[in-house]
């Protein structure tokens, strides 16, 4: 994976595959403390402690089409290369939280990548799942909550092409502004 936005897409897809109806993604950039934190929370079926204990082993997966589970171990590797780590907490029937930390200024820290494309792909591709995105940087924040959009749109679905474009352009310009500070 080239950047963090692709890892985020991959881990969020795990939650969707696990039947989640709500995915919460938080990115927290604190350049003073030199920490980049990413949290992905879903209310999918979760994993029991036995499975969880080995889920970061790249040879674990419940899928039948392929023997190797890769996504979480790849993300963990990326975090460790930037002086951080990835941890998972999960409760069967309740959901899963994946927590990633990295040193913000670390030379091997992967770039953020295109979060507008990641979020639009998730929302447009899974219009029945709600998504909350919070991106903080040094005290400012951007929030996107599809539950609010859904309420406003009434019977127009979230995957309508004009809605997808609106979401994409809003995330793109807002994050650009957030990065400028």
Ligand X SMILES: Nc1ncnc2c1ncn2[C@@H]1O[C@H](COP(=O)(O)OP(=O)(O)O)[C@@H](O)[C@H]1O
- Note the helical H segments in the chain: 4-17, 49-54, 71-81, 115-125, 146-153, 161-180
> Using the rule CB under 8 A, which residue among 22, 35, 52, 74 binds another protein?
74
Stretch that binds ligand X, among 44-52, 104-112, 127-135, 158-166 (CB under 6 A): 44-52
User: What's the rounded Cα separation, in Å, for the pair 150 and 146?
Assistant: 6
CB 14 to Mg ion: min, Å? 4
Stretch that binds ligand X, among 43-51, 111-119, 149-157, 160-168 (CB under 6 A): 43-51
**Which token pair is 158?**
């979230």
User: What's the rounded Cα separation, in Å, for the pair 52 and 102?
Assistant: 22
- Binding mask 151-170 toward another protein (x if CB under 8 A, else -) reads -xxxxxx-xxxxxxxxxx-x
Contact 95, 41 (CB under 8 A): yes
Q: Which does 32 bind (CB under 5 to 8 A by kind): another protein, Mg ion, ligand X, none?
A: none
Q: Footprint of ligand X on this chain (CB under 6 A)?
A: 14-15, 18, 42, 44-47, 55, 60-63, 69-73, 96
């Amino acid at each position: 994976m080239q950047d963090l936005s692709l890892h985020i897409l991959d881990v969020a897809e795990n939650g969707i595959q696990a039947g989640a109806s709500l995915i919460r993604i938080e990115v927290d950039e604190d350049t003073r403390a030199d920490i980049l934190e990413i949290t992905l929370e879903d209310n999918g079926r979760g994993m029991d402690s036995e499975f969880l204990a080995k889920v970061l082993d790249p040879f674990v997966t419940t899928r039948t089409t392929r023997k190797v589970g890769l996504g979480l171990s790849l993300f963990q590797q990326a975090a460790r290369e930037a002086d951080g780590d990835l941890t998972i907490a999960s409760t069967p029937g309740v959901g899963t939280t994946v927590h990633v930390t990295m040193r913000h200024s670390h030379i091997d820290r992967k770039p953020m990548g295109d979060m507008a494309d990641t979020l639009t792909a998730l929302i447009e591709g899974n219009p029945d799942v709600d998504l909350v995105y919070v991106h903080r940087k040094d005290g400012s924040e951007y929030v996107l909550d599809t539950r609010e959009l859904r309420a406003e749109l009434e019977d127009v679905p979230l995957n309508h092409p004009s809605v997808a474009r609106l979401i994409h352009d809003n995330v793109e310009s807002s994050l650009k502004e957030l990065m400028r500070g």
